[in-house]
Structure 1
Amino acid sequence: MQKHQQWWKLSCARGRGTWSGVCGNNNACKNQCIRLEGAQHGSCNNVFPAHKCICYFPR
């Protein structure tokens, strides 16, 4: 199993409380997740009906 796959299995994802609107910039999402939410990672993901910023936290 690759490192990324291992990390994914050991994390919990949730939508951002500090992000508003459509997420179109993975780096901005990641930076806000880490700085403002205390997450390990963040990325834009397609969550119907639009792309949203999702933060990933350790379980």
Structure 2
Amino acid sequence: MWGIIVQAFKYSAENTAKIDPSRSLYDFFVEKVQEVYPGGGEIEQKRKLVLQMAELWGAGA
């Protein structure tokens, strides 16, 4: 998860003028988690867990 957060901040810093204002940090997470954890079964559970943690982290930010 922290690796995705680092990627998100780097992406934001490098692409601030190009990012659609309606796109959220959570949207970025959804895309990256699909890349990091492709597939189903047990991998699907990991993907859900990371996205749940992203929701909690986002609520506290």
Structure 1 length-normalised TM = 0.32
Q: TM-score, normalised by structure 2?
A: 0.31
Greater share of strand residues, 1 or 2? 1
Max Rg structure:
2
The structure where helix makes up a greater share of residues is: 2
